[in-house]
Each structure stands twice: as structure tokens, then as C-alpha cells.
Amino acid sequence: MTARPSLTFERRCWDAGETTVVGVDEVGRGAWAGPLTVGAVVVSPHGRVNGIRDSKELRSEVREQLFQRIDDWARAWSVGHATAAECDELGMTDALRLATRRALELLPAEPDRVLLDGKFNFVDWRPSRALVEGDRRCLSIAAASIMAKVVRDRIMTTLAGDFPPYGFESNKGYPAPVHRAALASHGPCAIHRLSWSFTEALPDAEPVPSAAHCDVETALVTYSKAFAGPDTTLF
């Protein structure tokens, strides 16, 4: 049976006097291209949005519907990113910290407590708690996973038009047959993570045709603002 996340952990925090409780989750860690994206959601203690689950358990059309409902219901939410180049430069752990810091800085209030998915508590600059299977057990973390997933998917779908060989509109930068075939034919493009091991197996290849946006970072900022509202940015 699919787990139903609850407000159990948030209520414990509220009862302890921690007013602003933020659920955090990431998407894009395993992708070969595109940003690492972190969602942060401050849920409301009043009302409820039915159907919130870990984003991986939901169909894309359901995520899109929940995205709007969470936007209407949550006290606040934001999304932060680390670009592919930053993932290369920093490594995934520090890139995850960077994207999370950016997401938290965009919230209108400083968190009293951050709840995040997993065993590893990488939020060492705020009061925080890591929850194993938090995206299945904790409502704010599950909501954060949906907001991050929808925003990142929208960005990758739009960037697909700039880098057509890779099929980013369908694979969102994850390894898939079309993506792998394009890499073998063209090599990586400007939003690929060049430090990853998949690049070692690539033969000499013709470069990808010039993208419509030569300044990829500017394009990502534009798309992020368009898809996640004026209070979200990459940088």
C-alpha cells in the first residue's frame, strides 16, 4: 500500500514552539544533465491537500494538479538549484547544500526547524532533522518533492528546445535510450555534468548544434522564475 505522509513530525515541532517548520527534498541528483533542484515547503497547520505523496509515486499529470493545490495551501514555498557546472565543481554533497541554502534563503521567514529526507543531515547551518523515508512519512517533505519535481521538469522540457538531440522533454536529463544515443553521436552539451563517469565512455563526436540560448545560466534563471514564480531564482 502506498504510504500516506502525515503532519506528525510537523506537529511535534509546533508543540515544541518551532513555528516555521520547513520540509525539504531534492530531485535531479541522478540525472546526467540539468540542475540539481531542491524544494522547500512550509505547510499550513490548517486544512489539507489530499493526495500528496513522494513525487516519484505520482504520475506527471497528478503532480501538476497537486503543484497548484500546494501553492494555494502552503504558508510559503520556494525552489533552489545548483547548475550542472556547480555540481561538477562542488561535488554532489556541496551542490546539494548550495541548492538547499538558496531555497531556504528565498522563504519569507527563517526556519525554526528543517525536516529533510534521508539518513544524512546536510543542513548543518539550521536546526534540522533527517528522516529516513521522510518523503513517504512527512507531509511537508513530500510536498517539497512535488514542487521541486514539477519545476525541474518544466525547466528541462523548455531547455529541450535548445538542445533537441537529447530528448530532454521526455527523459528530463536522466539516462534513457534517446539520451544515450545523442551523447554517442554529439557528445555532451552545455547543461551536462561533465565530471560524471558517463563522459569517459564517449567517443570523439561532433559538437551539438548551437543552442538558442548561448548563455545557459541566464536561460535557466528565466525559466525558473517563469515556472516557479517571482520569488524563486537559480542564483
pLDDT at 232: 42
Residue 191 to residue 195: CA distance in whole angstroms: 12
For residue range 206-221, what is the model confidence (pLDDT) as tens digits? Answer: 556 544 444 555 555 6
pLDDT at 97: 96
User: What structural domains and CATH numbers belong to the chain?
Assistant: 8-152 (3.30.420.10), 159-216 (no CATH)
- What is the distance of C-alpha 165 from the center of its chain? 23
Residues above pLDDT 90, as percent of the chain:
66
For residue range 16-73, what is the model confidence (pLDDT) as tens digits? Answer: 999 999 999 999 999 999 999 999 999 999 888 999 988 888 898 999 999 999 999 9
For residue range 155-178, what is the model confidence (pLDDT) as tens digits? Answer: 999 889 889 999 999 999 999 999
Residue 29 to residue 98: CA distance in whole angstroms: 13
User: pTM for the full model?
Assistant: 0.88
Per the listing, cell 547543461 goes with: 191
pLDDT at 190: 86
pLDDT at 209: 54
pLDDT at 54: 84
Residue 175 to residue 150: CA distance in whole angstroms: 19
For residue range 67-123, what is the model confidence (pLDDT) as tens digits? Answer: 999 999 999 999 999 999 999 999 999 999 999 999 999 999 899 999 999 999 999
